[in-house]
Structures are given as structure tokens and as C-alpha cells.
């Protein structure tokens, strides 16, 4: 008998979000449990995580820093400004997102993969400066 596939497997991250914010399924699982994965602590890109998986699985994860979870609707902001120099003018862009009362800076790629007014669970560093991972919130009825 063939096993049937389960729809909406919530343990896997959205590929577009994971690619833009550079986190893996292992990182997201650790973040859901309330701590930073060793790969995030060491700033290993997801591709390197596969190469060092044998080492990461053998090291204790209790020494990783705690994280914070923020739940809120995404309020995206895009700001363009000009920088004037003697012989040229440059146009620069700044991207950010606000979840609840917390504002994060984004890259252009991160800005493009987020959806305006969608409810997200955002896992960030304890100082709330860096988004470690995020996912659409599925079991929330109110904004955080």
C-alpha cells in the first residue's frame, strides 16, 4: 500500500522565505522551540549546513542564545532617496517591514517575498535586530 502525502506539511518552511532570509528547516524547527540553531549562531549559510550536518548534530544546542517570537501583520515600507555628490546624483532605496511594534530592515529580495498585511510568526534575536526565520501564522486569531 502506498503512503499518501499529507497536505500542508507545516514542518517545512516556505522555500521563497527560506531562500530570501537564509534559513533551513532545521533552523526553523530550532526557532520554533525557542532557541537559535548552531548554524545560525555561527552564521552558516544553508548550503554549508548540509556539509557540516554531522558536526552540528553532535554538538549540544543548549549553548545557543535564546530568541524572541513576534507575531504580527507585515507592514512593508519602501523609501527612495537621492544622494547628491559634486558630479553625480545617486538614487538609493531602503526597505523595511513592521510586525506589531517591531521594525526590521530588509534587502530588496526579502521585501519582494513578503506579503503586505499577512500575519507572520517572526523569530528574531533577543535584541530584536535580526530576523532569523519566519513563517505564516496559521493558528492565530488576533494580531500580536
Reported as half-sphere exposure (CB side, CA atoms, 13 A), residue 102 has a value of 23
pLDDT digits (tens, 9 = 90+) for 88-114: 888 889 999 999 999 999 999 999 999
Q: Which CATH architecture has domain 13-51+63-139?
A: Beta Barrel (2.40)
In order of 74, 84, 95, the CA distances from 20 in angstroms are 16, 31, 14
| H or E element in which residue 21 lies | helix 15-21
Q: What is the CA radius of gyration of the chain?
A: 18
Of 26 and 106, the one with more pLDDT:
106
Domain boundaries, the chain: 13-51+63-139
Three-state DSSP at 108 gives helix
Instruction: Tell me the per-residue pLDDT of 40-84, one tens digit each, with 9 for 90 and over.
Output: 877 776 666 665 655 555 555 556 678 999 999 999 999 998 888
Amino acid at each position: 500500500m502506498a503512503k499518501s502525502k499529507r497536505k500542508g506539511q507545516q514542518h517545512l518552511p516556505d522555500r521563497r522565505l527560506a531562500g530570501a532570509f537564509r534559513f533551513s528547516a532545521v533552523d526553523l524547527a530550532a526557532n520554533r522551540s525557542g532557541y537559535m540553531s548552531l548554524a545560525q549562531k555561527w552564521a552558516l549559510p544553508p548550503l554549508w549546513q548540509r556539509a557540516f550536518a554531522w558536526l552540528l548534530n553532535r554538538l549540544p544546542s543548549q549553548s545557543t542564545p535564546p530568541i524572541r517570537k513576534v507575531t504580527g501583520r507585515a507592514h512593508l515600507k519602501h523609501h527612495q532617496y537621492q544622494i547628491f555628490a559634486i558630479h553625480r546624483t545617486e538614487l538609493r532605496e531602503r526597505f523595511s517591514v513592521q510586525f506589531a511594534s517591531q521594525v526590521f530592515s530588509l534587502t530588496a529580495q526579502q521585501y519582494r517575498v513578503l506579503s503586505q498585511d499577512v500575519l507572520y510568526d517572526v523569530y528574531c534575536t533577543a535584541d530584536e535586530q535580526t530576523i532569523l526565520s519566519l513563517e505564516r501564522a496559521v493558528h492565530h486569531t488576533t494580531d500580536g
